[in-house]
Structure 1
């Protein structure tokens, strides 16, 4: 590939990434669960669509994964709800407690507020 074309392509990709919304604390919009990862610490990472960005996920899964840490008292219930949502196509909303995308709460199905 021509160096100029490669340079322009990379520059365009950088501009596109600059406009992705970074994660913020608070409720996400209704999202679809795309991936659930149980990490070695016992926590869970979850990827959703529309995708998150700017997260700091546990175990190095990247900026698109929100994390539920093993110390979360609702870990097992959230894991079950995430699997149900992923397999049924049901929407969820996640409450992110910080800009690193730590999940504190979740709503399975339509939020009524």
Structure 2
């Protein structure tokens, strides 16, 4: 699901940057980049945590704590992705709707 959201955001971003209908408001662009940067940082933290857990021998209690921390990090990433999508929605709701529909169609074809 997270990869689908990220792919959708990147597709919409490319679509809007290539579009000749207008230019993105710099404030929206900064906000979008801020949300994507925060998501990238949180993904890196989650990745590091997962790698450390994999390389160490954890008892069941430590493993549960690690999985719980991973869940928290990924929840924040999901929130950042939603905020980034909302930023693009403010710029072009029609383009975002089309990208989401295309993403759903691609997901349906995979199932």
The TM-score normalised by the length of structure 2 is 0.29
The TM-score normalised by the length of structure 1 is 0.29
Relative contact order higher in (CA < 8 Å, ≥ 6 apart): 2
Higher helix proportion (structure 1 or 2): 2
